[in-house]
Amino acid sequence: MDFKEQLGKNSRIVFILNKMKKSPQRVIVFEGGLKEERALFGKYWACCVNCFNDKGPCLECRTCDDILNLRFPDVFLFDGDESSIGIELVRDIIREKNIPPREGKYKVFLFYEAQNLTLNAANSLLKILEEPKDRNLFVLMVPQKGNLLPTIVSRSVVLTLKWQRTQIEKDLSDVISHLVRFWETGSGLFKLSEKKMEIKEVEQIIIGLQAMLVDAVSDEQHHGNLNFFKKNLTSQKVWQISFFLEQGLFMLKSNVSPRMVFEWLGLNIYKILKMNQT
């Protein structure tokens, strides 16, 4: 899938970004999708605010080309894909943010896989975000906003790309089906968690459940596990389950045992789904 096809797949996000470019939001969080798609939209937003085409980024001028190829002097990349983003990198922003843009209208600081910010780096970034608005814009790209400090999310506009549900269902269909069976019957959770569970595995289960939750409250046709969610959800329960899923991600980031997080989530979502049932 090429660049424009990926933009077309998330045309709603493209529309929102083009509307925001005249008065840019200082902090944007892109969640959902694949990491490559999140990276693409981070660069697209940098094009939106720096391209001199009034109708929207042309994606063809030298400015856009330099941004897309990460050669533009006012776009800065902090890549958490291979390793953590430490406080020493965030300190680079403190030095850079007081210098006016060199060629563009705005400086844009891109954080790829920002869930890999260390706690010290995240707190240092938060202090920067609390300062008065200037010509510095920040983009954080994460699988799910719950991977970030809540205080960072509260200062951000969160835009959700379409989830890769087909891959999630393929990888996690058995464990999610067992979870749904537990939520229906109230038995089998601890048998499911008997085997050793890794942080990455439980994280992917949570993200899969978040994707299912989005599907369940949409107007699309539902089947299988989604039917169970659909018939048992109210708006209050959706909010409560979303909160617990985000807390589960935060607990994993805080090095709580993956098995404990899995069982804690399973029990709490069971309690929520059984509320007010007759």
Q: Which residues in the chain are classed under CATH 1.20.272?
A: 165-274
Q: Is residue 217 predicted with pLDDT exceeding 70?
A: no
Whether residue 55 is predicted with pLDDT greater than 60 in this model: the reply is yes
- Mean pLDDT for 248-267 is 90
Can you read off the two tokens belonging to residue 149? 């400090």
The CATH code of the domain at 165-274 is: 1.20.272
Looking at residue 278, its pLDDT comes to 47
d(CA 147, CA 141): 10
pLDDT at 214 over 80: no
Judged by average pLDDT, the poorest of 54-63, 121-130, 204-213, 218-227 is 218-227
CA nearest neighbour of 61 among 47, 49, 43, 73: 47
63: exposed, middle or buried (Cβ count in 10 Å: 0-12, 13-18, 19+)? buried
Whether residue 225 has pLDDT greater than 80: no
Superfamily of domain 3-161: P-loop containing nucleotide triphosphate hydrolases (3.40.50.300)
Local confidence band at 235 (pLDDT 50, 70, 90 cut-offs): low
The structure tokens listed for 74 are: 């006012």
Residue pair 35/66 in contact (Cβ under 8 Å)? The answer is no
Helix (H, G, I), strand (E, B) or coil at 77: strand
Q: Summarize pLDDT for 193-205 with one digit per residue, the tens.
A: 777 888 888 888 8
- Would you state the pLDDT for residue 165? 56
Rounded to an integer, the average pLDDT of 7-11 is 83
Structure-token pair, residue 86: 């430490």
Q: What is the pTM of this model?
A: 0.67
111: three-class secondary structure by DSSP: strand
Torsion-angle region of 123 (φ positive above 0: left; ψ -120 to 50: alpha; else: beta): alpha
Return all residues near 136 (Cβ < 8 A) that are at least 6 apart.
26, 93, 97, 106, 107, 109
Residue 57 has pLDDT above 80, yes or no: yes
151 vs 167: which has the higher pLDDT: 151
- What average pLDDT does the segment 244-266 reach? 89
Q: Is the pLDDT of residue 173 over 70?
A: yes
DSSP bridge partners of 109? 76, 138
Whether 187 shows a pLDDT value over 60: the answer reads: yes
Confidence of residue 44 (pLDDT cuts 50, 70, 90): very high
> H-helix or E-strand containing 161?
strand 157-161
The pLDDT value recorded for residue 49 is 96
